[in-house]
Amino acid sequence: MIVLTTGHKYELASFEGGPGQLLQFIEKVPIAQGSRELRTVNDGTTNEEVLKVLIDRLQYLNGKFPCRENALVITKLEESLMWLNKRTADRLARKVEGKATA
């Protein structure tokens, strides 16, 4: 993995040495100095989407080559997704989702 933009853009190594894959996360910045309102400067994916991909892939692989370790990783990824979704639900309830923290 090569960090292209910390927290937002990464080049992932190809397993067999081919060209790397770009992983771009959404990047938002305040609309003005001191503002809590955010605007998107680079569109991209989210942590939640990446976790869903990993869960799907590991479930697929575990169907072919089941093992305890795969099952544990799937459980932990599902737990991670649950906590991220809880965080979003809490922020929505407080009406601060999509806003910078103070």
Ordered by start, the domain boundaries in the chain are 1-45, 47-102
pLDDT of residue 102: 56
Residue 44 in contact with residue 28, Cβ under 8 Å? no
Identify any residues that bridge with 69 across adjacent strands, giving them in sequence order: none
Lowest mean pLDDT among 7-11, 36-40, 50-54, 85-89: 36-40
Instruction: Round to whole Å and give the CA distance between 4 and 25.
Output: 11
pLDDT digits (tens, 9 = 90+) for 38-78: 888 999 999 999 999 999 999 999 999 999 999 999 999 99
Q: What is the CA radius of gyration of the chain?
A: 17
Q: Find the mean pLDDT for residues 4-32.
A: 94
Q: What angle do CA 11, 28, 84 make, to 5 degrees?
A: 80
| Angle subtended by helix axes 68-93 and 47-64, to nearest 10 | 160
